[in-house]
Amino acid sequence: MSTTERSSVRRRPEQLLLAFFGELVAGRGLGPVPTAVLIDVLGDLGVGQAATRATLQRMAGRGLLEPVRSGRTVSYLLTEESERVLLDARDRVFALDPFAPHGEGWTLVSFSVPEARRDVRHRVRAQLTWAGFGLLRDGLWIAPGEVDVRRTLGPELEALSADGLELLAFRAVEVEGFSVAGVVTSAWRVGEIRARHEGFQARWAVPGDEPSSPLARVTALVADWLDLLRHAPPLPAEHLGADWPARASVEAFRREHALLVGPAGSALRARLTT
pLDDT of residue 137: 82
User: CA–CA separation, 162 vs 212, rounded Å?
Assistant: 48
pLDDT tens figures, 134-175:
998 888 999 999 998 888 887 667 767 777 778 889 998 888
The pLDDT of residue 29 is: 85
Residue 7's pLDDT is 41
The confidence score (pLDDT) of residue 175 equals 83
Q: What is the pLDDT of residue 70?
A: 86
Contact 44, 15 (CB under 8 A): no
- Residue ranges and CATH numbers for the domains of the chain are 1-99+188-274 (1.10.10.10), 106-172 (3.30.70.2360)
**pTM, two decimal places:** 0.84
Residue 183's pLDDT is what? Answer: 81
What does R_g of the chain's alpha carbons equal in angstroms? 20
Please list the rounded mean pLDDT of every run of 10 residues in the chain (274 residues).
48 95 92 94 95 96 93 92 90 89 90 78 85 87 90 74 80 82 84 94 73 89 94 87 91 94 94 86
Residues 6+ apart with CB under 8 A from 89: 22, 226
92-105 as b/e, with b when 16 or more CB fall inside 10 Å?
A: bbeeeebbbbeeee
What does the alpha-carbon distance between residue 191 and residue 240 come to, in Å, rounded to a whole number? 11
pLDDT value, residue 117: 77
